[in-house]
């Protein structure tokens, strides 16, 4: 039986547990709303921070395209999707999560920041998304290896020819074997960074 955590529940967020946290996203100090029942409600998760820092150090726009489609797979309360939308206002950002509270919080945070380029979706609603230019994810490792492989395989086949996927995974939760698996599946995958026990992996589309 999988552990009963936010990964496996889908309830509206409970306003009684809502809180404001101070965060820095896209170089801006902001207030974000989080609540119980979503991933890392008290701060930006360390792995997410490593991903954001790695991409920001490479490029002021974190290698996002000027236009097109960007997807955050597993948005939680929205740190990655909000960053994409702030950095790339002309890009359509899809924030996808199975968890209803996470989707509601991402939508609330986008609205409060005046971001009109984020669409929040369930995985079923996101099925029609194709030609993804940039995919960012701190993926739900704890769903198990087979489910994670299904999830990532399904998303990566939808990358645009010039697109890429940036993933952050804890080293001791299988980052290196995930990289090996992605390469074996035909997705050229490089390690962009290794910091604080996390690997940042960049996967490119399959050739042909």
Ligand X SMILES: C[S@@+](CC[C@H](N)C(=O)[O-])C[C@H]1O[C@@H](n2cnc3c(N)ncnc32)[C@H](O)[C@@H]1O
Read off the tokens for 32. 């974000």
How far apart, in whole angstroms, are the C-alpha atoms of residue 87 and residue 76?
A: 19
- Name 177's Cβ contacts closer than 8 Å, sequence gap at least 6: none
- Return the number of the residue (140 or 205) whose C-beta is nearest ligand X: 140
Collect all residues with Cβ–Cβ distance below 8 Å to 21 and sequence separation of at least 6.
31, 32, 33, 34, 41, 42, 43
Instruction: Name the residue nearer to ligand X (CB basis): 187 or 198.
Output: 198
55 binds ligand X (CB under 6 A): no
Task: Identify whether the C-beta of residue 204 lies closer than 8 Å to the C-beta of residue 134.
Answer: no
Stretch of 11-19, 25-33, 98-106, 176-184 contacting ligand X, by CB under 6 A: 98-106
Q: Which of residues 141-160 bind ligand X (CB under 6 A)?
A: 143, 151
DSSP 11-64: ----GGG-EEEEEEETTEEEEEEE-TTSSS-SS--HHHHHHHHHHHHH-TTTT-
Closer CB to ligand X, 33 or 75, in the complex: 75
Cα–Cα dist 2/202, whole Å: 28
Smallest distance from ligand X to CB 208, Å: 27
CA distance 184 to 40: 32
Q: Which stretch binds ligand X (CB under 6 A): 25-33, 93-101, 189-197, 198-206?
A: 93-101
Closest distance between ligand X and the C-beta of residue 49, in Å?
9
The interface mask with ligand X, positions 6-45, x = CB under 6 A, is xx-------------------------------xx----x
Which C-beta is closer to ligand X: that of 84 or that of 188? 84
Question: 60 with 48: CB under 8 angstroms?
Answer: no
Stretch that binds ligand X, among 72-80, 107-115, 159-167, 178-186 (CB under 6 A): 72-80
Per CB under 6 A, the list member of 35, 55, 71, 80 interacting with ligand X is: 80
> In this chain, which residue has its C-beta nearest to ligand X?
74
Structure letter (DSSP) for residue 207? P
123 binds ligand X (CB under 6 A): yes
Q: Which of 73, 113, 193, 201 binds ligand X (CB under 6 A)?
A: 73
Instruction: Kindly state whether residue 97 participates in binding ligand X, applying the rule CB under 6 A.
Output: yes
């Amino acid at each position: 039986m999988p552990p009963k955590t936010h990964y496996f529940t889908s309830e509206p967020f409970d306003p009684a547990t809502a809180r404001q946290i101070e965060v820095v996203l896209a170089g801006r100090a902001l207030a974000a709303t989080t609540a119980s029942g979503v991933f890392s409600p008290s701060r930006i998760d360390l792995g997410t921070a490593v991903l954001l820092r790695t991409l920001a150090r490479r490029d002021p726009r974190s290698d996002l395209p000027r236009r097109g489609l960007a997807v955050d797979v597993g948005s939680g309360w929205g740190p990655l999707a909000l960053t994409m939308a702030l950095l790339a206002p002309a890009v359509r950002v899809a924030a996808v999560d199975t968890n209803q509270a996470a989707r509601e919080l991402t939508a609330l945070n986008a609205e409060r920041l005046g971001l009109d380029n984020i669409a929040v979706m369930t995985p079923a609603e996101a099925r029609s998304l194709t030609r993804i230019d940039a995919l960012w994810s701190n993926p739900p490792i704890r769903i198990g290896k087979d489910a994670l492989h299904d999830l990532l395989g399904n998303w990566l086949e939808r990358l645009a020819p010039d697109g890429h996927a940036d993933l952050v995974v804890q080293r001791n939760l299988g980052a290196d074997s995930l990289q090996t698996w992605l390469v074996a599946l035909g997705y050229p995958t490089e390690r962009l960074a290794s910091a604080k026990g996390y690997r940042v992996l960049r996967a490119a589309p399959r050739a042909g």
